[in-house]
């Protein structure tokens, strides 16, 4: 018992010693590079030392530093400290409001990649409000392909057409990224086709694009391949169900076999049916499918005669996905104005989804429709509370 307690205490002491060494090394590199250390990171490290736990979430931000300060913040001192101490406990890396140079991105990518003597198992990377060039985004995409990353957040970063093309040419679609967030990234209607290309045959299952300007045209282009894949999967499932029903009917008419044989056949059919159902799941047809789609505040509406036609096209594709996509769990259309007619069409799609016995989805829509339609939509689904903020979060850290 004493040996076990001693081992636990020794492990806790080692973790605390690692964190102290990491901070000292970080301060040293800040001094050498004439950079200011992050008070928030210091707070987190001291907190984890008190808890006797490793630092799994690295948050690097400098809310107290301004352009007039003589000592400016930098990412490189932290990257050098992590590499010097070979600190491999962290799994999340959050960097806020830093102007990252190409050298910074290259060093960050080297840390993420599964190369070198030490492998750093980061699964989540958030670059919030960081200035990134096309070359930086392309390099980041290449690193994601050979990393452990499953979540990538680039919110409040002005991506633009060339930046989005950089992510594509870097091979982001071939990475293991399953959750991609591009909220408030100045994406216009032009981005619909590029995002659709990124989604096709990729691992992305959660897409967050709140606060952009896709409008009806861009949103329609984005969802076309998703709708086509949903149709393929639905057709496969319908064929499987039809074949299974015919087999069961023939089996019921046959009364010549013994009861034991009937039970064995019934069990075999159930197993076969289950296997066929599994095969006809999300991966049965090639192409993209989404579990979570958040596209709040994207100027989707029917203003003007031409806009009404585009809105109808968007609603047709969206309702098709709602009716047939068995994997869809969340849909955020808040602050987009689909109107009363759009609300009714969406409500009908939700009812058809329920009749098909597909799992209910969490949904958010604009209140710019009748109270009856809005309430009926929320009754036919579950209300979704969006976790994405409209403005950049401002966090004040207490210096210890």
The answer, yes or no, to whether residue 287 has pLDDT greater than 80, is: no
Task: Write the pLDDT tens digit of every residue in 254-284.
Answer: 554 455 555 545 545 544 444 444 344 454 4
Encoded tokens for 306 = 């031409």
User: How much is the pLDDT for 252?
Assistant: 55
The mean pLDDT value of the chain amounts to 85
pLDDT average, residue stretch 192-219: 95
Percent of the chain with pLDDT over 90: 68
Go through 254-284 and write b for each residue having 16 or more CB atoms within 10 A of its CB, e for each that does not: eeeeeeeeeeeeeeeeeeebeebeeebeeeb
Place of tokens 């969406």: 346
pLDDT average, residue stretch 89-95: 97
pLDDT band at 291 (very low <50, low <70, confident <90, very high): very high
Percent of the chain with pLDDT over 70: 78
- Sheet architecture: strand order including 330-332: 57-60, 92-96, 124-128, 151-153, 179-181, 206-208, 292-294, 330-332, 362-364, 382-383
d(CA 179, CA 273): 32
User: How much is the pLDDT for 385?
Assistant: 78
User: How much is the pLDDT for 293?
Assistant: 97
d(CA 65, CA 399): 13
Q: In 275-339, where do the E strands start and end?
A: 292-294, 330-332
User: How much is the pLDDT for 115?
Assistant: 82
d(CA 74, CA 336): 38
User: How much is the pLDDT for 395?
Assistant: 43
**pTM (2 d.p.):** 0.84
Continuous segment of H or E residues that includes residue 93:
strand 92-96
CB-CB contact of 132 with 101 (8 Å): no
CB-CB contact of 155 with 183 (8 Å): yes
Encoded tokens for 77 = 């001192």
pLDDT average, residue stretch 135-148: 96
Cβ-proximal residues to 349 (8 Å cutoff; 6+ apart), any chain: 318, 319, 320, 322, 323
């Amino acid at each position: 018992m004493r040996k076990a307690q001693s081992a636990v205490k020794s492990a806790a002491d080692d973790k605390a010693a690692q964190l102290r060494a990491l901070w000292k090394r970080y301060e040293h590199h800040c001094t050498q590079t004439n950079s200011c250390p992050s008070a928030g990171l210091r707070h987190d490290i001291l907190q984890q030392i008190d808890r006797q736990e490793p630092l799994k979430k690295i948050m690097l931000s400098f809310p107290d530093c301004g352009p007039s300060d003589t000592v400016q913040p930098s990412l490189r001192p932290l990257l050098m400290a992590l590499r010097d101490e070979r600190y491999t406990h962290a799994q999340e890396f959050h960097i806020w409001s830093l102007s990252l140079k190409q050298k910074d991105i290259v060093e960050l990518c080297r840390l993420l990649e599964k190369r070198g003597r030490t492998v750093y198992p980061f699964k989540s990377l958030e670059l919030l409000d960081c200035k990134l060039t096309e070359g930086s985004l392309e390099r980041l995409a290449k690193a994601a392909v050979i990393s452990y990353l499953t979540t990538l957040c680039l919110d409040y970063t002005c991506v633009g057409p060339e930046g989005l093309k950089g992510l594509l040419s870097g091979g982001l679609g071939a990475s293991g990224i399953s959750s991609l967030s591009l909220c408030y990234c100045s994406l216009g209607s032009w981005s619909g086709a590029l995002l659709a290309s990124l989604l096709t045959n990729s691992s992305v299952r959660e897409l967050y694009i709140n606060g952009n300007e896709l409008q009806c045209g861009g949103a329609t282009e984005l969802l076309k391949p998703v709708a086509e894949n949903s149709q393929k999967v639905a057709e496969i499932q319908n064929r499987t169900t039809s074949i299974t029903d015919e087999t069961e009917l023939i089996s019921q008419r046959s009364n010549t076999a013994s009861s034991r044989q009937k039970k064995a056949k019934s069990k075999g059919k159930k197993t076969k049916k289950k296997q066929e159902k599994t095969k006809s799941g999300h991966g049965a047809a090639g192409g993209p499918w989404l579990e979570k789609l958040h596209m709040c505040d994207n100027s989707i509406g029917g203003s003007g005669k031409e806009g009404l036609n585009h809105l109808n096209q968007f609603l047709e594709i969206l309702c098709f996905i709602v009716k047939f996509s068995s994997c869809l769990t969340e849909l955020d259309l808040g602050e987009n104005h689909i109107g009363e007619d759009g609300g009714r069409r969406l409500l009908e799609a939700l009812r058809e989804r329920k009749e098909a016995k597909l799992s209910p989805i969490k949904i958010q829509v604009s209140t710019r429709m009748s109270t009856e339609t809005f309430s009926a939509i929320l009754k036919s689904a579950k209300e979704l509370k969006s976790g994405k903020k409209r403005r950049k979060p401002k966090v004040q850290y207490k210096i210890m």
